[in-house]
Amino acid sequence: MSLTGRETIESIVVVMVLIGTVLSLLSSLGFLRFPDVYTRSHAATKSITLGILFILLATFLYFLFVHDQVSVRLLLGIIFVFLTAPVTGHLIARSAYRYGVKPSGAQDELAADLEKAKKRASASDK
């Protein structure tokens, strides 16, 4: 039994939607299980971005090959999610750090860099 072109595209779309769903599920589990805001932000931005991108790309491919329609809205959605989700995660982690939320990791490498930057700024002001 061989698959037709439409059935092949639909199979690829189903696999991509399943991959996106699994990535989104793993992201939500990571968001619930990780100990602090930094690791939770990492889980939420990395895997959920890929999950949403897989689902949107599968939808785009389905409409492109099965219905012969190019959806500009889906393309804009893919670009928007790809650009804004990592920036949002970075800003959330940065504001948590600036607010004073301590990371649960063993080392705080950013504290030493910020201290050096403060010393350079105070030395240049004199």
Alpha-carbon radius of gyration of the chain: 21
For residue range 21-76, list pLDDT tens digits in order. 999 999 999 888 988 888 888 888 888 899 999 999 999 999 999 888 999 999 99
pTM, 2 dp: 0.78
The count of domains in the chain is: 1
- What integer pLDDT is reported at residue 39 of this predicted model? 86
- What integer pLDDT is reported at residue 1 of this predicted model? 58
Q: What angle separates helix 72-99 from helix 37-65, to the nearest 10 degrees?
A: 180
The yes-or-no verdict on residue 126 having pLDDT over 70 is no
For residue range 87-101, list pLDDT tens digits in order. 998 899 889 888 888
The yes-or-no verdict on residue 119 having pLDDT over 80 is yes
The yes-or-no verdict on residue 106 having pLDDT over 70 is no
**Token pair belonging to 95:** 């504001």
Domain that holds residue 60: 5-125
**Token pair belonging to 88:** 């949002």
Band (pLDDT 50/70/90 cuts) for residue 113 is: confident
